[in-house]
Amino acid sequence: MAGVPGTSESAQTFQYRGFETSIDIARRQDYQVAPVAGYKRPSSEQPTETLKSLAPHGPSEGDELLEPPPLEFARATLTPLANRFTASRIHPGSGATAPDDAQQRGVSAVPGSSQNPLLSLTNPKYGLPDMLTANFGALGVNTIYPWQASCLLARGLLSGERHLVYTAPTGGGKSLVADVLLLKRIIDNPTRKAILVLPYVALVQEKLKWMRRIVQDVEKNVPDDEEDDHESQFPRKRLRRVQKNIRVAGFFGGSRTTTTWADTDIAVCTIEKANSLINSAIEECSIGDLGVVVLDELHMLDDEHRGYLLELMVTKLLLLQQDIQIVGMSATLSNTEMLAQWMNAKFYVSTYRPVPIDEYLVYENSIYPAATSRQLFQTASKLTGSSSLHDTIPPDRIIESSPFKQLGNSATNSMVALAVETAAAGFGALVFCGSRGACQIHAATISEAMTLPSADTDEMSKRLDLLAELRSLACGLDPVLQNTVIKGAGFHHAGMTTEERELIAQAYDQGVLRVLVATCSLAAGVNLPARRVIINGARMGRELVGPAMLRQMCGRAGRKGKDEAGETYLICIKADMEAVCDLLDADMPAIESCLAPEKRGLKRALLEAIATGLVSGCEAIKEYVRCTLLYRTLDKKIAYSIMKSALQELVDEDLLNYRNDESYEATLIGQAVVASAFSPEDGLFVHEELKQALKAFVMDGDMHIFYMFTPLQVAMSIPIDWQIFRNQLDHMDDSGLRALQFVGVQPGFVNTMVQSGASMKETTPAQLKQARIYRRAYTAFQLRDLSNEVPLSTIARRYKIPRGTVQTLAQQCHGFAAGIVKFCQRMNWGMLAAVLDHMRDRLEAGARADLLEMAQVTFVKSWTARLLRENGFKNLRALAEADPKDLVPVLMMVNPRKTQKSQLYPGEAERYAAKLLTKAETIIASANKIWDRELQVELEE
């Protein structure tokens, strides 16, 4: 079927056989079913995911930055049709059944607002201003679902009197409920603020754009001056100073916003930033300004790395007993009622999904309904080698075996056939696989089987535009992406740069790319729907995917307003069949507290509460512990025992003092740890290094500062190549060597690791400390190169790491550096704080001191700034007065040489030059704006 998707013969075969997929239905409908490109949504942003290593079989992502991987089928170019392979055909099996009515209709029947007035947000019961409902309508939200109306109208929610915990399937409209509650609270209480918490930077950026569009021209209910004067004896008089417009700001790692908490009405934050905002508000006694906190992806409570921060936030808010409404939501909660009891909230569970999803299991080139997986396994395990499974259990559909070597593996053959069939029908397919390397290989394989569009079509024009955009990035165009994009396929993983991920995600969302191959982190990090989700194997990395992640991935199929139906295909190999059956049958795991002793979160919870002045006495601390999820899930005696142990550890580590009146207070170190947003363990490590630096800071070079500013968490996730480590030491000047030896790096130990080929042991506390030092030193080399204007692609190649990893280091070092400076300030180490603070601008710009002014300009950072300076644009004024055409040749020099020499498709060179000209115009406009601002400051002085 995939080989000749559009023929009448194919359509006729399916019509007579009786079995149809949603794609077959779409093909034979006389009306137009809009493809993914038919509905343009706001551009989805990049995710900032947890860094994972490449699988051993994947290509080296450091090398692939300038050299394509050595795979023939990855070089998909304009080759003759006869020389490339094609996807296998898919035809009905003997077990095919007629599609049910819901699938044929595409969308479940939902009563409209004319039948039920409560399904319109304009209904007076919601009390929303006309401009707000108009903005919702402009973005396609004209009616709401019955479950949303039922949830919103529950007693005490719209008035902000009750908390809410609720769960609804992905794509079921859960975000709208939280949006309405949050906005209602801010509009009706104009002096109050809101915090909206999301787990990933990509989601924060996407939500930021959405919220700004929703609140455009919406005003808070601020009383007029006459009313205020009349009631001047009451506190409401100060409302005259409250702005009517709603200000939305984003707070996340690496953001350059100058907006403060005082300048914000709605703060859209990552988990870490939200916790810091709440801590500051408690410490400054301004927590009363907070009116509502929305916790999206509430299941992150269970996350071993960040879950305790969510629990900390909720615990502090529950203890305060202020008039602050808490709203928590997730698509993957199983113990919703228990979480609601913990938060003293109303709970609501919805199973409604507006677009139906059909789920299938693919095994040995045969497609079965996922509901029959257990029977499949039991039958397959009894079969002898000569028997065939589909002779025993008739499949719904059969994928023909492929004569091509590249498709000899049945899982790969099935993946390509299903993806190409979807693309050929004009819909979008999301393919999930287990590693970054696999993403690139599978995208190359799928694209090889896809048909190249005609040179003069609109489809080809849009893809050439995308290639030109990618080529115009500072890191250049990835050669594998070049080959896949032109056929309509792309890949998406954490090893790519932020800009690459953003462009690829946006192109897929708009239908320019039909197939997107991604790691599972995309399922949680970016809101990209698909007609068909294909999960290539049940393992993500080495581990079996969990029920929650499986639901997240499957939830991307079929989204309201984008598709009429959805399908998921889980491709399973024989070795994983039993595990897959268990996975499909598994219930969602219960959310558990991350404050347990083995996760050490309670130490931070207690330190933050005491350091911010929230609690101090023993009874108050016990009350605080009673507000935790940990207390809700454990025997109270055990919970108190854990509390006492954690308090004693904090005292022993000199983070807390125990006073004679049986109360606790944070020491100066404890206050510094909380102010800098470090965990107790990280804070103590930083304190020891800073205390050592006070004795002898290496000032005749920059290496000591780069080491101090290297983020601990990023450093611990980057593997050390000891040969590269030794090479860097061999080429280091005397100042750099002294700095590294001062912090504990021994060249002899590095030589030993190179010769032995061993890995560092990280078991005992001493070994962990040693690992931190060497990992930070190795990562500091990369930070040094970034600040010395070495191109990002060169750094990635030099250290054999993905470009995205280098960029993550660049983004996260800003926040960590700010924490280090704040730590020094709280410790009253003013001189050291001043020395470190001086270097933060260089980290921000990624350039030496002479380029800091120019590096403020949009698109001008690091290597770009140096090239402009060396080619005649010496300063900001010269850049502001430049002709855009004169900048284009310089911008062409920014990309690595090998990416410039890669093959250009007809017409791509002109598009590339046009993209660079547009960038040049933006650069000049930005330079003019900064130049005018500086002139104004000089005039005022």
Q: What is the 3-state secondary structure (H, E, C) of 487-507?
A: CCEEEECCCCCHHHHHHHHHH
d(CA 928, CA 878): 10
Per DSSP bridges, beta strands 429-433 and 532-536 are parallel
* Domain limits, CATH 3.40.50.300, in the chain: 8-100+355-585, 117-349
CA 524-441-479 angle, 5° bins: 100
pLDDT tops 50 at residue 404: yes
Average pLDDT estimate for 755-782: 91
422: which strand partners? none
Instruction: Pick the range with the lowest mean pLDDT from 556-560, 650-654, 694-698, 786-790.
Output: 556-560
User: 147 by DSSP, 3-state: which?
Assistant: helix
pLDDT tops 90 at residue 390: no
Q: What is the pLDDT of residue 239?
A: 41
Higher pLDDT, 114 or 406: 406
d(CA 941, CA 927): 21
Higher pLDDT, 727 or 238: 727
Q: What is the pLDDT of residue 145?
A: 92
Beta strands in 444-565 (DSSP E): 489-492, 515-519, 532-536, 539-540, 543-544
Q: Which residues contact 396 (CB under 8 A, 6 or more apart)?
A: 19, 92, 93, 95, 96, 97, 360, 367, 368, 369
pTM, rounded to two decimals: 0.79
User: 249 by DSSP, 3-state: which?
Assistant: strand
**pLDDT tens digit string along 151-186?**
999 999 999 999 999 999 888 888 999 999 999 999
pLDDT tops 70 at residue 797: yes
Nearest alpha carbon to residue 780 among 849, 851, 714 = 714
Considering the segment(s) 8-100+355-585 as one domain, its CATH architecture is: 3-Layer(aba) Sandwich (3.40)
**Which CATH number describes the domain made up of 117-349?**
3.40.50.300
User: 468 by DSSP, 3-state: which?
Assistant: helix
Angle, helix 458-471 to helix 498-509, in steps of 10 degrees: 170
Q: Which of 378-382, 404-408, 842-846, 861-865 has the highest mean pLDDT?
A: 404-408
Q: Which two tokens stand for residue 686?
A: 């930083």
**pLDDT tens digit string along 661-689?**
889 999 999 999 999 989 899 999 999 99
Higher pLDDT, 26 or 786: 786
Q: What is the pLDDT of residue 364?
A: 87
pLDDT category of residue 382 using cuts at 50, 70 and 90: low
Beta strands in 202-344 (DSSP E): 248-251, 266-269, 290-295, 325-330
Average pLDDT estimate for 290-298: 94
Nearest alpha carbon to residue 740 among 755, 729, 730 = 729
pLDDT tops 90 at residue 729: yes
Higher pLDDT, 123 or 788: 123
CA 238-245-280 angle, 5° bins: 65
Nearest alpha carbon to residue 162 among 139, 143, 181, 136 = 181
**pLDDT tens digit string along 543-554?**
788 888 888 888
**pLDDT tens digit string along 10-22?**
333 333 334 455 5
Q: What is the pLDDT of residue 728?
A: 94
How many residues appear in the chain? 941
Beta strands in 248-375 (DSSP E): 248-251, 266-269, 290-295, 325-330, 345-349, 357-363, 366-369
H-run or E-run covering 432: strand 429-433
Instruction: Indicate the DSSP class of residue 667.
Output: -
Instruction: Pick the range with the lowest mean pLDDT from 348-352, 353-357, 801-805.
Output: 353-357
Higher pLDDT, 496 or 109: 496
pLDDT tops 50 at residue 58: no
Higher pLDDT, 598 or 891: 891
Q: Which residues contact 860 (CB under 8 A, 6 or more apart)?
A: 854, 868, 879, 923, 926, 927
Q: What is the pLDDT of residue 229?
A: 45
pLDDT category of residue 896 using cuts at 50, 70 and 90: low
Percent of the chain whose pLDDT exceeds 70: 81
pLDDT tops 60 at residue 25: no
Instruction: Pick the range with the lowest mean pLDDT from 211-225, 292-306, 375-389, 497-511.
Output: 375-389
pLDDT category of residue 96 using cuts at 50, 70 and 90: low
Instruction: Pick the range with the lowest mean pLDDT from 55-69, 488-502, 754-768.
Output: 55-69
d(CA 256, CA 707): 22
Higher pLDDT, 901 or 56: 901
Instruction: Pick the range with the lowest mean pLDDT from 145-154, 284-293, 586-595.
Output: 586-595
Q: Which of 410-419, 521-530, 918-927 has the highest mean pLDDT?
A: 410-419
- Phi and psi at 357, nearest 5°, equal -125, 130
Q: Which two tokens stand for residue 789?
A: 């204007």
pLDDT tops 90 at residue 726: yes
Side by side, the strands of the sheet bearing 248-251 are 248-251, 266-269, 193-197, 290-295, 325-330, 163-167, 345-349
Long-range contacts of 145-148 (CB under 8 A, 24+ apart): 145/110, 145/119, 145/172, 145/173, 145/352, 145/354, 146/110, 146/111, 146/116, 146/119, 146/352, 147/172, 147/173, 147/348, 147/350, 147/352, 148/173, 148/176, 148/177
Whether the CB-CB separation of 496 and 483 falls below 8 Å is answered with no
Q: Which residues contact 542 (CB under 8 A, 6 or more apart)?
A: none
**Which CATH number describes the domain made up of 667-846?**
1.10.3380.30
**Arithmetic mean of pLDDT over the chain:** 81
597-665: CATH class: mainly alpha
Q: What is the pLDDT of residue 807?
A: 85
- In DSSP notation, 598-609 reads GGTHHHHHHHHH
Nearest alpha carbon to residue 293 among 261, 260, 262, 317 = 317
Instruction: Indicate the DSSP class of residue 245.
Output: B
* Domain limits, CATH 1.10.10, in the chain: 597-665
If one counts every other C-beta atom within 10 angstroms of the C-beta of residue 922, the result is 15
Whether the CB-CB separation of 443 and 491 falls below 8 Å is answered with yes
Instruction: Pick the range with the lowest mean pLDDT from 130-139, 421-430, 446-455, 668-677.
Output: 446-455
d(CA 197, CA 252): 10
pLDDT category of residue 53 using cuts at 50, 70 and 90: very low
What amino acid is encoded at 633 in this protein?
T
Q: Which of 249-258, 422-431, 852-861, 893-902 has the highest mean pLDDT?
A: 422-431
Average pLDDT estimate for 494-515: 90
- Phi and psi at 702, nearest 5°, equal -105, -10
617: which strand partners? 663
**pLDDT tens digit string along 581-631?**
888 777 788 888 888 877 678 899 999 999 999 999 999 999 999 999 999
Average pLDDT estimate for 403-410: 88
pLDDT tops 70 at residue 482: yes
Q: What is the pLDDT of residue 391?
A: 65
Q: Which residues contact 667 (CB under 8 A, 6 or more apart)?
A: 654, 655, 656, 657
pLDDT category of residue 75 using cuts at 50, 70 and 90: very low
Instruction: Pick the range with the lowest mean pLDDT from 376-380, 409-413, 685-689.
Output: 376-380
Whether the CB-CB separation of 397 and 366 falls below 8 Å is answered with yes
